[in-house]
Amino acid sequence: MLIAGIDMGGTNIDGVIIRNGSLHKAVKHQVNHDDVLHSILACLQDLLRDVDEGNLERINLSTTVCTNAIVEDKVSQVGLILQQGPGLQWQFDRMGDYLRYLSGSVDHRGKLVRSIDKEELEQVRQEFSDSPIEAIAVVSKFSPRNPTVEEQVHQLFADAYEHITLGNSISGRLNFPRRVETSYLNAATYKTFNAFADHMRKALSEKQIKAPVYILKADGGTIDLEGAAAKPVETILSGPAASCMGMRALLSPDNSDSCLLDVGGTTTDIFFLVDGVPVFEPQGIEIDRRKTLVRAIYSVSIGLGGDSHVRFVEGDLQIGPERLGNAVAFGGEEITPTDALVYLGAMEGQYPDKSHQALKRVAGQEGIMPGELALTIVAKMCSMIKNRIGDSLRKINSSPVYTIKELLEDRVVKPGSIGIIGGSAKALAPYLEESLSLPVNCPEYFAVANAIGAALAKPTVEINLFADTEREIMSISELGVYEKIDKNFDLAEAKRIALAKTREAGRALGLDEIQSEAEIVEAGSFNMVHGYLGADKNIRVKAQIKPGLLTGDR
Amino acid sequence: MQAKNTLGLILFPAFDWAISPTHPEREERLLYTQDQLLEEGIEDVEGIEFHNPAIALDKDINRVHFCYPDAKTLLTESHYIASGGVMKAFDLVLGGTTDKSFALVRPPGHHAQRVVYGDRGFCIANIEAVGLEYARQKYGDMRVAIVDTDCHHGDGTQDIYWNDPDTLFISFHQDGSTLYPGTGFVDELGGPGAYGCNINIPLPPNTGDQGFQYVLEHTVLTILSEYKPDLIINSAGQDNHYTDPLTNMNFSAQGYAALNHSLNPDIGVLEGGYSIQGALPYVNTGIVLAMAGLDYSGVYEPDYHLGKWKQSDKVTKQVEEIAEAVYQLWQKRKELGARKFGGQKSVKRQRRVYYDTAGIMESQVQEFKVCRNCPGVNSIISQNDQGAKIMGITVPRQACPSCQREGYRLFSEANKAHYNQIYLQDQSKDQYQVRIPTRR
């Protein structure tokens, strides 16, 4: 069976065909950002040349359609309707010109404190009706506990708008300001992404390609094209996830803690695996200075790469964060870490003589030997990476826990090895190994690691189940589940349902029985005691299908 | 959103610990507080950081308490963690990580006295005192004011700092004649080494926002400006709230936030408060915002209507009288102290202490040496109705050489035959010893 994986980067679009788990074919094209679809189709066409399309199982795509729309502010006008209620009053700016607040509120238990004012809402509807609004987003505080307010707004606006994002559908996790930002972005990218998806479907059907299309998410998982079209915000910033998943596929790390580095020309991305699974951002990813609830692999990017600008400022060696151009060894003007590695014989350059001369010149200005300069540059680069890894680990290891068990266990993430890809990876590896006192592994083929990562990423699902036996309700916001339960509903039942629903969602995304194995991430049941009337239960269960590789993790 | 004051939050709800499944001090207690703080997006406010608690060691407990038979037997992991949470709160502020900190931990601690046989008022370890004494050993001596805004008298904290002139303890609470633990009257002013540094402001039932703010402005802030503490701690119990099931006061989230704003404490510590749905989420959010210097005017309870909880004129008058009486005592503390203790070499204090949660009755005699050079070495002889009898000797942090020697002499000369255990708490050298006599 064949899987096509396509990764869109800033300059290149890479494609791979994976055949029975091994790399069969790889292509590289330039991206035309003005016509993303065309770039993808050209890449796909190239990929599928001489390949039997009938054997194509799926097409996995990491796309920048939504990311670019957001960063370049080419998004739809959104009518944003918020019910903020009592509490901290966030100022939501950068949400376009159509932001309205509703009165009324829901409390932390999901009890309706005061319902919305119908007249007030009707007034909003009229104001919006004569405007260029293309989509609506409605978010109320505590909507994952009670979506009534959002549903009421939906009912009133459904006829007039093609798309309405309801905050409760975004995530079952509580964070009103992030839910607002995420819902806004979802509504704002809806039209762009759906236009892209329509064209994609049409083009594929014209080419008689029947394989389903999946879109890579920032959490290293995929979502089918239909799912992505309904929740386009899920497709933002999938680039780092492609890189992380690609490294996982190439390095096949064991189930221990490790650190993955993608050393590019301008930046170095750092990821961590705990027990072999990527560490996530605690709340969600940030895009264009907006904090979202979009689940994402934790990645740290530093302005340090093979082409970073190297110079002395008052005798102090500085590297990056800017890149002035190629290394001298590859036709540039100013020396870079790559030139240092070329001087040390760790890698080969196109113009080694020019590179050596440039390095000697800088060394002469600073009154040191060129060999010493080269070593100093590489050592500095290693120590910058080392420090950043240390900072990130401190952050990860101090993330809050809420149970005595977790606090006493004190699970400390401590990488036992480093994986590295990128242009200068192989050359840098031995130096990094010495600096970090850890084994550093560099895979053979990493030029198309991101496309491999995209190709092999499997669908992921995360759900938050909430049940309240006093109110006799159970909800799974992510799946739109709101059901009545009886008083005897308990944690065991909640876990069973959470696992079943997660698996079911996984199967719907095309996972087989083994791949759709779900796990409980958090589970708690709290006695709610009122007087002597006995206790009800407040139950919370988080379940997931964690990110992994379609070929199975070795 | 940017906090004006950087604030470290130690939110540790201990979701796997309860005194018993239906006890007010159960897993659910901080659940809705956490929900509220998460939903408000507090984690995303620039300048507010979440931290895990530290875990206190036995030494941290023994610095403050005489635990019988020992700390390990009496405390659960949750007590070590709640204490450690407050230690972390001190580290954050005194180590310069954040301007302020707030430990939202459980169980509370302000009913835990120097001697501990078991649980009193849901408290075993006095978490503020454990944190403060840890901080004094680590960062050096400092003058500290603890303002206890729990509805119950902070009798444990009062007992621990009874004779410490460097710790000003001020407790606002519902009048002890109407509520547990039945102490905290205005004439409980402290031992001979610290007379006047223990201040009780018993308030009549149904005191509302107006009354608390009056007491704060009229009495507490004035006293604080004269005492000039290096650090202010707010023991932020939340059971003065109008929805609290165990008390009879009419304080609101707005009132708590405004009080915290005016008091401007460096460190907040959650104490009691068992209206876990109706009060805690709102009061805690209000305090967090007030401490961070953010606008808390939007924080109010679903059933909060202006005027509904307004206090009566009668209560207002009573509150004003008490506030004035307390201030008068504060002003006259030196002459009152001289009159009370003048010419005495030592002062004895006899008390009975009931452990409501554990069901133990204790009787004790404390003896404070009156010393011109320091607060004075002091001792406790205590026995309980379960057959335990102990002696505890405290050499205070500020002890003079003579009181230090005296402490060790008392410890070595105590008649072994009389006690199950003899303790030496040498706070001046940060050394803690126990003698367990062989069976009589």
ipTM of the complex: 0.93
**Rounded distance between C-alpha atoms, residue A304 and residue A310, angstroms:** 10
Q: Which residues of A434-454 are buried (b: 16+ CB within 10 A; e: fewer)?
A: ebbebebbbbeebebbbbbbb
Residues of chain B with CATH 3.40.800.20: 2-333
Backbone phi and psi for residue B168, each to the nearest 5 degrees, phi listed first = -90, 120
pLDDT of B309 over the 80 cut: no
pLDDT of B416 over the 70 cut: yes
Tens digit of each residue's pLDDT (9 = 90 or more) over B58-78 = 999 999 999 999 999 999 999
Tens digit of each residue's pLDDT (9 = 90 or more) over A521-550 = 999 999 888 765 668 999 999 999 988 888
Comparing A1 with B350, the larger pLDDT belongs to B350
For A176, the closest of B24, B27, B39 (CB atoms) is: B39
Q: How far is B427 from chain A (nearest CA, A)?
A: 29
Contact between B302 and A142 using a beta-carbon 8 Å cutoff: no
Contact A31, A8 (CB under 8 A): yes
According to the model, what pLDDT value does residue A353 have? 96
Contact between A398 and B26 using a beta-carbon 8 Å cutoff: no
pTM of the full structure: 0.94
Q: How far is A211 from chain B (nearest CA, A)?
A: 41
According to the model, what pLDDT value does residue A533 have? 60
Listed in sequence order, the residues at least 6 apart from B297 whose beta carbon sits closer than 8 Å to its beta carbon are B254
B79 is catalytic: no
Angle at A314 between CA A310 and CA A320, to 5 degrees: 25
Residues 252-281 of B with CB under 8 A from A: 277, 281
- Per CB-CB distance under 8 Å, the chain B contacts of A107 are 302
Tell whether B246 lies on the interface with A, counting CB pairs under 8 A.
no
Q: How many helices (H) and strands (E) does chain B have?
A: 13, 16
CATH class entry, domain B2-333 = alpha beta
Tens digit of each residue's pLDDT (9 = 90 or more) over B124-153 = 999 999 999 999 999 999 999 999 999 999
Q: Which residues of chain A have pLDDT under 70?
A: 531-534, 552-554
Listed in sequence order, the residues at least 6 apart from A139 whose beta carbon sits closer than 8 Å to its beta carbon are A80, A81, A82, A83, A150, A166, A167, A176, A179, A180, A183
Specify the DSSP class assigned to residue B212.
H
Tell whether B295 lies on the interface with A, counting CB pairs under 8 A.
yes
- Percent of chain A's residues with pLDDT above 70: 99
Contact between B39 and A174 using a beta-carbon 8 Å cutoff: yes
Instruction: Give me the catalytic one of B79, B110, B111, B153.
Output: B111
Tell whether B46 lies on the interface with A, counting CB pairs under 8 A.
no
- Per CB-CB distance under 8 Å, the chain B contacts of A405 are 16
Contact between B51 and A400 using a beta-carbon 8 Å cutoff: yes
**Rounded distance between C-alpha atoms, residue A20 and residue A24, angstroms:** 9
Tell whether A115 lies on the interface with B, counting CB pairs under 8 A.
no
Backbone phi and psi for residue B240, each to the nearest 5 degrees, phi listed first = -80, 0
According to the model, what pLDDT value does residue B306 have? 63
Contact B174, B240 (CB under 8 A): yes
The two three-digit tokens of residue A408, written as one number: 């006493």
Contact between B12 and A529 using a beta-carbon 8 Å cutoff: no
**Rounded distance between C-alpha atoms, residue B380 and residue B407, angstroms:** 12
Tell whether A148 lies on the interface with B, counting CB pairs under 8 A.
no
According to the model, what pLDDT value does residue A4 have? 95
The two three-digit tokens of residue A332, written as one number: 């540039």
**Rounded distance between C-alpha atoms, residue B231 and residue B131, angstroms:** 13
According to the model, what pLDDT value does residue A552 have? 57
**Rounded distance between C-alpha atoms, residue A224 and residue B373, angstroms:** 79
Contact between A283 and B277 using a beta-carbon 8 Å cutoff: no
According to the model, what pLDDT value does residue A553 have? 43
According to the model, what pLDDT value does residue A12 have? 86
Among all chains, which residue has been given the structure tokens 């907006």? A290
Q: How far is B263 from chain A (nearest CA, A)?
A: 21
Comparing A253 with B400, the larger pLDDT belongs to B400
Residues 123-142 of B with CB under 8 A from A: none
Contact between A403 and B15 using a beta-carbon 8 Å cutoff: yes
Packing angle, helices A148-157 and A118-129, rounded to 10: 40
Mutation test of the interface with chain B: which of A83, A88, A281, A541, choosing the one with the most B Cβ atoms within 10 A?
Answer: A88
pLDDT of B109 over the 60 cut: yes
**Rounded distance between C-alpha atoms, residue A281 and residue A296, angstroms:** 6
**Rounded distance between C-alpha atoms, residue B211 and residue B223, angstroms:** 17
Q: In whole angstroms, how far apart are CA A209 and each of A3, A25, A60, A202?
A: 13, 18, 13, 10
Listed by start position, the domains of chain A span: 78-189, 302-454, 458-545
Q: How far is B53 from chain A (nearest CA, A)?
A: 8
Q: Which of B340, B284, B285 is nearest to B40 (CA)?
A: B285
